[in-house]
Amino acid sequence: MGLALSVAVTAVLAYGLANVLTTDLVNTWVSAAIGSALPLASMGLLIAGTAGLAQLQPRGATDNRNRAGGADAEEKSRVASDGQQDVKRQPPSLGALLPSATLQRLSQRNRSILLRFCLCLLIAITAVEAVRNLLLSGTALTFYAGAANLLGLGLKLASTAWLLYLFETYDVRGVSAVYRVAFLMMLGVVLCIPSLLAGNWLAHTLLDLASYFFQVTMLVVAYQICVGFKVNPVMVLSLFRAVWALAALAGIGLGHAIASAHTPLGIQALTVGMGLAVAFAFTFAFTDRDCVKVLAAMPKRPAASPFRDKMRQVASRFALSERELEVMTLVAKGRSAARIADDLSVSPATVNSHVSHIYRKLGVHSRQQLLDLVERG
């Protein structure tokens, strides 16, 4: 979701920046500095987030500091051992959070989906960039800052909200519809080339909106490939950006080649060729069925549990540690101390110590009083 939202934020910033650049209020060098600072700021936030993950305190160590005194030496030793196990489970850095699967380790089916996804991306972006550079000559601030683009900006934000809702709710039919809409919009861009050449601003808006919608859709699919196929996101997103950059270069070259021979026959050939290429990309390379397969590979979300939510509310209100929350949940379910000790791989004495601390913090003296407290929330 964050990737898609970043594209939406970029669209909003680009509209404001384009309006500023069309005036004489900002020096060219200042505008270039602003444009360069945005990706640098993104890189800085990524580095800061990585460093923050690396410095996370182990949960077990926090639990040890929060435990009240009164436990004997054996219990302290058991608790310390539990803390060490939690330390081992705590990822020390961002790298530990990333799956290690690479392209070679993917199954043949998943590898085929990923490669066809890249092929579709290559064809579609080449077509968009060829049309964009042919018609807008790479820079068209008056269009990007005008009222027509304000309408397009509103449509971009609305389409982003719709797209994210469908992907977040695992709506299979909706996701299939999103991908087919992206295909229709991309095909519409190709078919509107004559209108674009005539200076039709509605066709220009379609070009910009279709490019944006396709980008957000493919970004979300790329994220789902990372999660669903358990493949390293650095590899997938790097491949995504590399294919995108290659397609942009190919589109720029193709656009300039057509512009240098600006003839009706050349425009007709461009329209037919681009239309066939886009149709091939969406109907043979990476189809809506492939998009649904990627969605189906995503891990299923756990069903909502009112009991678990109430337990977490009580734990938060009385400042219980994560381990104490685990013990309290098992006690509320009627588990014996021996069973809890077996489930958590600790000694029964440690469990009894946890239960004593939990009762003291909650101000209860029995399991029934604990259940009454949880029921009241």
Tens digit of pLDDT for each residue in 290-306?
A: 988 888 888 776 655 67
pLDDT at 123: 93
pLDDT at 161: 85
* 119/16: higher pLDDT: 119
* 5/224: higher pLDDT: 224
Q: What is the mean pLDDT of residues 362-371?
A: 88
Q: What is the mean pLDDT of residues 245-256?
A: 87
Q: Is 281 exposed, middle or buried (0-12, 13-18, 19+ CB in 10 A)?
A: buried
pLDDT at 159: 81
**Res 98 pLDDT > 60:** no
- When pLDDT is cut at 50, 70 and 90, the band that residue 55 belongs to is very low
CB neighbour list of residue 133: distance below 8 Å, 6 or more residues apart: 251, 252, 255, 256, 259
pLDDT at 120: 93
Percent of the chain beyond pLDDT 70? 65
**Res 48 pLDDT > 70:** no
Q: Do 247 and 129 touch, CB atoms closer than 8 A?
A: yes
How far is it, in rounded angstroms, from Cα 376 to Cα 372?
6
pLDDT at 343: 85
- When pLDDT is cut at 50, 70 and 90, the band that residue 131 belongs to is confident
* 194/161: higher pLDDT: 161
- When pLDDT is cut at 50, 70 and 90, the band that residue 117 belongs to is very high
Q: What is the mean pLDDT of residues 58-86?
A: 43
- Phi, psi at residue 30, to the nearest 5°? -65, -45
Structure tokens at 114: 């990923």
**Res 139 pLDDT > 70:** no
Q: Of 307, 316, 318, 330, which Cα lies nearest the Cα of 357?
A: 318
Q: Do 216 and 4 touch, CB atoms closer than 8 A?
A: yes
Q: What is the pLDDT of residues 266-291, one digit of tens each?
A: 777 778 888 899 999 999 999 989 98
pLDDT at 280: 93
Q: What is the mean pLDDT of residues 174-197?
A: 83
Least confident residue range of 79-93, 196-210, 281-295: 79-93
CB neighbour list of residue 82: distance below 8 Å, 6 or more residues apart: 60, 63, 323, 344, 345, 346, 350
pLDDT at 54: 45
* 43/208: higher pLDDT: 208
Q: What is the mean pLDDT of residues 261-265?
A: 71
Residue ranges, comma separated, of all CATH 1.10.10.10 domains in the chain are 306-376
Least confident residue range of 131-145, 156-170, 199-213, 342-356: 131-145
- When pLDDT is cut at 50, 70 and 90, the band that residue 110 belongs to is confident
How far is it, in rounded angstroms, from Cα 93 to Cα 97?
7
Torsion of CA 341, 347, 351, 352, to 10 degrees: 130
pLDDT at 265: 77
CA distances from 168 to 66, 159, 287 (A): 36, 14, 20
How far is it, in rounded angstroms, from Cα 273 to Cα 284?
16
pLDDT at 279: 92
- The average confidence (pLDDT) of the chain is 75
* 340/7: higher pLDDT: 340
How far is it, in rounded angstroms, from Cα 370 to Cα 373?
5
Q: Of 63, 185, 43, which Cα lies nearest the Cα of 128?
A: 185
Q: Is the dihedral of CA 27, 28, 30, 35 positive or negative?
A: positive
**Res 137 pLDDT > 80:** no
How far is it, in rounded angstroms, from Cα 336 to Cα 346?
13
pLDDT at 327: 92
Least confident residue range of 102-111, 119-128, 322-331: 102-111
Say which CATH topology domain 306-376 has. Arc Repressor Mutant, subunit A (1.10.10)
